[in-house]
Amino acid sequence: MKKAVHKKKHSHLDEMLPEYDFSKAKRVGNKYFKKLKNGANLVAIDPELKKSFPTSEAVNSALRKFLQIKQTAA
């Protein structure tokens, strides 16, 4: 039979200690925030595709070319 494990509650450990003062810390913004706010979509690509399309500009360029070819073929 298994014994029940009792965890002691340490409510004092849930509080931030006074020596951890982040009030003067420099805030660093999220580098993707502006793009996401403007309606960008984040998409994960397979690792083997990352070799051919290392940047979002490369992916966007390839997709635009694909759409042009698709529209001219239709």
What are the domain boundaries of the chain? 46-74
Containing 62, the helix (H) or strand (E) segment is helix 56-73
pTM beyond 0.75: the answer is no
Within the chain, residue ranges assigned H as helices are: 33-37, 47-52, 56-73
Query: Lowest-confidence range among 3-7, 31-35, 36-40?
Result: 3-7
Predicted pLDDT at 3: 63
Predicted pLDDT at 18: 78
